Structure 1
Amino acid sequence: MGGPVGSGRDFLGPFLDDGDGDLEFRDARARRLVRESLDALGVPGFAGLGVPLVCTFGLSAHTVATRQNWDIHRDRHGTVPERFLRSGLFGDLVRASVRGALAFYDRTAALGLRVLALMPPQRVPGMSDPGVFFAAQDVIGAELTARGVELLDLRARVTDGAGHQRPVFCQADDTIHGNLAFGRLVVAELLDRGL
C-alpha cells in the first residue's frame, strides 16, 4: 500500500477511522481502492489477510523534511545542528509528523498482520533539508521496527558515499522516486522474503 492508494503526504496525519476492529480509511477514493484490493484477494477486511502487507505509509521523509518546517531550529549558519537532529525533541516532532502512519502500524500489529515497509529512495528534493531527511527516516524506521514492521532497506545497495541514491536507480525528471532498476531490486527483496 502506498502510491497506488494516494500520495505519501496523505498518509502522515490521521487517515483512519475506527471500523469494527478493522482498518477503515477516511478518504473515499482510498477506501474504494483498498476495498477492491481486498475483494480481489477474497477477504472481507485486513483482519482476514493471509498474505504479507507491503506498505510505504509514513516513509515520505522528504515531506517531513520540508525546509521551512525546520527554519526555527537552524543555527546562524543556516544548518539544523546535528545535536538537535539526535535530540528527543526532534524525535518527538518527527513522530508527531507521521502520527497517522504510526497509528496505522499500531493497528496492523494489533491485527497480527505481517507488514513489510520499504525505506524510501534516498532522494532529497530541493524543498527538503538533507540532514532532516536522513535523521527523520532513521526515527521513522526505528518506530516501525518497534511495531514489528519488517523494513526493506536497500540503502547499502543503491546509494553513493554521501548516502544519496545513485543516478542508475533514479527516475529521470523526478526528484523523489526510484526508477525501474530500483523497482526490480525491491521486487527481488520481497521475493527473497517469501512473497
Structure 2
Amino acid sequence: MTTQCSTTTPPGPARFLLLGDSHAGCVGRAARQAGLPFVGGPVGSGRDFLGPFLDDGDDVDDGDGDGDGDGDLVFRDAETRRLVREFLDVLGVTGFAGLGVPLVCTFGLSAHAVATRQNWDIHRDRHGTVPEGFLRSGLFAGLVRAGVRGALAFYEQTAALGLRVLAPLPPQRVPGMSDPAVFFAAQDVIGAELAARGVEIVDLRARVTDGSGRQRPVFCQADDTIHGNLAFGRLVVAELLDRGL
C-alpha cells in the first residue's frame, strides 16, 4: 500500500513531515487517530528507495513553477515528486531546505528486501547457512551499503540541509522470501549508517519482539507478512512525542 495519509491542511500546525514506504502507513494512521497534526505518508514501495532515487536538484524541475530544483531534494519518479510537492505546499515551503518541522522517514529500512534469500546463496556454507563471520565482515557491510546506496545518499543530503530526521525501524517481520540472519545483520548495518548521517533511529525492538527477535503477533498486521498494525504505529507515535515532536 502506498496511498498517502494526508495532503490536506492539518487541524493545527503540522508537527512533522512523514515520508516513506508502506511501513509509514501505520504511523500515519496512529497519528491521525491521536489527533496529532502532520503532513505526508507513504510515497512508494520499499524497493523504490534502496537504489538511487534522487536527481540533481539543480537540473530537474521540482514542480514549484520556477523550472529548476533549486539544489534541493528532487525525486526521479514523477508521481513521488508530485506527492512530495503537495506535502511541501501544505507546509508552506518551496523545498526541503526550508522545512521547519522534523522529517519522519522510513526510506532504506526495508531490510527484508535486502535479505532476499537468492541474493546471498553464493555466500552460504555447506549447511545452507550464511556464516556468522561473513555477516560481521566488512565485505557484508559493503554489500549492504551498496544495496541501499540511494537511501544513504538521501540521508547525506538531509544532513547537509540541517534537517532533523527520525527513522522508525520497521516491524521485525521476516517473510519467507528473506533470510532471517541476513535480515537482522543488514538492519544493524543500515541503522549504523543512518545514525552516522545524523538520523535519530526510533528503535522499539525491546518492546515489540519475542525471545527470537521477531515481532510479537499483537503488533503485526494480520493480513500480510511484513507490516506492523495500528498498535505498532501507536508505539512509534508515542516515541515521537517523547522525543519532542
TM over 0.5: yes
1:8 aligns with 2:46: yes
Specify the SS of the correspondent of 1:69. Answer: helix
Matches of 2:145 and 2:94 in 1, distance apart? 31
Partner of residue 150 from structure 1, selected from 169, 190, 200: 200
Structure 1 residue aligned with 2:232: 182
Structure 2 residue aligned with 1:88: 138
1:43 aligns with 2:81: no
Partner of residue 22 from structure 1, selected from 54, 57, 72: 72
Shift of 1:120: 1.0
Q: Quick check: which has more Rg, 1 or 2? A: 2
Matches of 1:190 and 1:37 in 2, distance apart? 20
Which residue identity is paired with 1:16?
L
State the TM-score, normalized to the length of structure 1: 0.99
Structure 2 residue aligned with 1:132: 182
Structure (1 or 2) with the greater helix fraction: 1
Specify the SS of the correspondent of 2:121. Answer: helix
Matches of 2:127 and 2:217 in 1, distance apart? 29
Q: Deviations over 1:116-155 (max 9, x none)?
A: 0011100000000000000000000000000000000000
Partner of residue 113 from structure 1, selected from 163, 170, 176: 163
1:167 aligns with 2:214: no
1:54 aligns with 2:104: yes
Specify the SS of the correspondent of 2:56. Answer: strand
**Gaps in structure 2 of 5+ consecutive residues:** 1-18, 22-41, 58-69
Matches of 2:162 and 2:96 in 1, distance apart? 10
Which residue identity is paired with 1:32?
R
Matches of 1:18 and 1:112 in 2, distance apart? 18
Question: Percent identity of the aligned residues?
Answer: 88
Matches of 1:192 and 1:37 in 2, distance apart? 24
Report the aligned-residue RMSD. Answer: 0.5
Structure 1 ranges of 4+ moved more than 6 A: none
Which residue identity is paired with 1:12?
L
Matches of 1:193 and 1:157 in 2, distance apart? 17
**Gaps in structure 1 of 5+ consecutive residues:** none
Q: Deviations over 1:26-51 (max 9, x none)?
A: 00000000000000000000000000
Shift of 1:21: 2.0
Specify the SS of the correspondent of 1:116. Answer: strand
With 128-137 and 3-12 compared, the bigger mean Cα shift is at 3-12
